[in-house]
Amino acid sequence: MDIIDAIILGIIQGLTEFLPVSSSGHLELGKAILGNDSLPEESLLFTVVLHFATALSTIVVFRKDVWDIIKGLFQFSWNEQTQFSLKIIVSMIPAALVGFFLEDFMEVFFDGAIIIVGIMLLITAVLLYLADLAKTTEKGVSFRSAFVIGLAQAVAMLPGISRSGATISTAVLLGIDKTKSARFSFLMVVPLIIGKVAKDILSGDINFEGGETAAMGAGFIAAFIAGLAACTWMIKLVRQSKLTYFAIYCLIVGLIAIAWSIWG
């Protein structure tokens, strides 16, 4: 992978991380279009690096919320701040278990299986459409709903299933306010991404060699800058706009991906 390809993929990641259109699915489609023949392990590594970049951009934008979560973990009173921090932890459990026990199995899906990406995008479209039909409420996130949203996040580890789309849609279908659903969705993924990268570093899985260091670095910077821009103005679009628009987009891209896989 050269530096230009890495920057393009980084921008794709940064722009799509905060919209319910599956950033991982777009990355796989981008790799297919650019003709990237990386091995599954390398492909997954690059995906993790770009996700870490957008996680950092999330921390910058939501720095007050992140700090509140950290403070809540070290408080001994059962207040709203502490409860929200514990709900974030509860939401992490399903994806953490999948990542720990099924990591090798998940790598198979990051190997240019474009038809799978297309099918998963169609599923994302259905989820977003159903969520748009849900009634608007002011209900908050409970411990039970936090775990259910976490299950949706675990399923969204498949490329093509939008993480934000799946978690926000699940939250809305559970009757949770859309704004609260979006905030919880973007905050709950940060600890998982950081934990994943830390695990890979400690295990030696992340090992940059030769020219790949420059490409990885360029992709990281591009994803971080694009993520900052996207998180400041696109997140408002996610919270306020109709999810049907994103459903239509996922439907179109999903059908194109399937057609590409069959006839391309």
Q: What pLDDT was estimated at residue 40?
A: 46
Is the pLDDT higher at 246 or at 203? 246
Please give the average per-residue pLDDT across 34-41, as a whole number: 53
d(C-alpha 124, C-alpha 132), whole Å: 12
Residue 242 has pLDDT above 60, yes or no: yes
Please give the average per-residue pLDDT across 32-54, as a whole number: 67
Domain boundaries, the chain: 3-263
Residue 209 has pLDDT above 60, yes or no: no
Residue 37 has pLDDT above 60, yes or no: no
**What is the token pair recorded at 217?**
């670095």
What residues have CB less than 8 Å from 101, skipping those under 6 apart?
Answer: none
Q: Which of 22-36, 47-61, 136-150, 223-237 has the lowest mean pLDDT?
A: 22-36
Q: What is the average pLDDT value for the chain, to the nearest integer? A: 81
Give whole-number Cα distances, 105 to 25, 101, 109, 177, 188, in Å.
Answer: 17, 9, 8, 35, 23
Q: What pLDDT was estimated at residue 39?
A: 42
**Top mean-pLDDT range of 7-16, 91-100, 195-204, 216-225:** 216-225
d(C-alpha 163, C-alpha 81), whole Å: 24
**77-92 pLDDT, tens digit each:** 778 888 888 999 999 9
Is the pLDDT higher at 163 or at 240? 163
Q: What pLDDT was estimated at residue 241?
A: 59
The CA dihedral of 40, 159, 191, 149, to the nearest 10 degrees, is -150
d(C-alpha 16, C-alpha 3), whole Å: 20
Q: What pLDDT was estimated at residue 239?
A: 66
Q: What pLDDT was estimated at residue 121?
A: 93
DSSP secondary structure of the chain: --HHHHHHHHHHHHHHTTTTT-HHHHHHHHHHHHT----HHHHHHHHHHHHHHHHHHHHHHTHHHHHHHHHHHT--S--HHHHHHHHHHHHHHHHHHHHHHSHHHHHGGGSS-HHHHHHHHHHHHHHHHHHHHSPP--B---HHHHHHHHHHHHHTTSTTS-HHHHHHHHHHHTTB-HHHHHHHHHHHTHHHHHHHHHHHHHHT-----TTHHHHHHHHHHHHHHHHHHHHHHHHHHHHHS-HHHHHHHHHHHHHHHHHHHHH-
Q: What pLDDT was estimated at residue 148?
A: 96
**151-187 pLDDT, tens digit each:** 999 988 888 898 888 999 999 999 998 888 888 988 8
Instruction: Give percent of the chain with pLDDT exceeding 90.
Output: 23
Please give the average per-residue pLDDT across 256-262, as a whole number: 87
Residue 109 has pLDDT above 80, yes or no: no
